[in-house]
Amino acid sequence: MSRAWIVPQGHSRFGVEGVLDFDTAARLLVESRQQFAGKGRMDIDLQGVRGSNSAGLALLLEWLELAYRQGISLRFRNLPESIARLAAITNLTGLLPVNKDGSSPRRGTHEAIPRVPIEISRHTHGQAPDNRR
């Protein structure tokens, strides 16, 4: 079983350590709700993340939604390369923006001020769109 935890690093700053996967992401989401309460800005440092899968990306997206609902400016630092790759192949990079200077995601700061609503399109009558153009 994987382990991960949130480490307070001062006012409105937190670190995440361990593995972000299906064993840990749901628990961290529940724990983080208390950490977010009453903050105007949050910095989350992901340098201590030793591994991640799609559940890690989902956790970051949940944190963006939570921040949006609470009016919090959210910044991710040291986004793991595995999460950056997953975001790229799932067309979610815009929600977890890369550095303006194009530097490696592992070295930089990723800031997202969550003011963009996420829309999920649904196909009518259970049919997928025809992509043969």
Domain boundaries, the chain: 4-116
Read out DSSP for 58-97?
HHHHHHHHHHHHHT-EEEEES--HHHHHHHHHTT-GGGSP
pTM: 0.73
Q: What is the pLDDT of residues 37-77, one digit of tens each?
A: 888 888 899 999 999 999 999 999 999 999 889 888 888 88
Domain 4-116 = CATH 3.30.750.24:
yes
Which pLDDT score is estimated for 31? 92
Close Cβ partners of 65 (under 8 Å, ≥ 6 residues apart):
114, 118
- C-alpha distances in Å from residue 121, one per residue of 8, 35, 91, 106, 126: 37, 32, 14, 32, 12
